[in-house]
Amino acid sequence: MLSALTGAEVPDRDYLVLGHGAHTFQRSVRTRDRMYVCTYHPGSYGVAWEALYNMVDDPTCSTI
C-alpha cells in the first residue's frame, strides 16, 4: 500500500476490504465500480446499516 502512495506501480486487485472504527464500526468492500458498506455499530451517527454506492456515477458517495 505504501508503494502505491509514493507513486510506485502496484499490481491490480479485484477488490479491497476496508475497515473503520473511530466513531462507528464498519467494514466495506470496494471494487472499481462499486463500494458496499456494512455498519455493525453506528456509534452516535445515523448511518445506514448497509449501503451500496456506484463509484462511477457518484464518486463522492453522496447517494445510496
In angstroms, the first-to-last Cα distance of the chain is: 28
Task: With cut-offs at 50, 70 and 90, classify the pLDDT of residue 60.
Answer: confident
Q: Which residues pair with 4 in a beta bridge?
A: none
Query: What predicted TM-score, i.e. pTM, was given to this entire model?
Result: 0.65
Q: What is the pLDDT of residues 14-54, one digit of tens each?
A: 877 877 677 778 888 988 899 999 988 888 888 889 999 99
Strands 34-41 and 16-20: unpaired
Which DSSP string corresponds to the chain? -HHHHTT------S-EEEEE-SSSEEEEEE-SSEEEEEEEE-TTS---SEEEEETTT-TT----
Instruction: List the chain domain ranges.
Output: 12-64
Question: What is the pLDDT at residue 41?
Answer: 85
Q: When comparing pLDDT for 33 and 62, which is higher?
A: 33
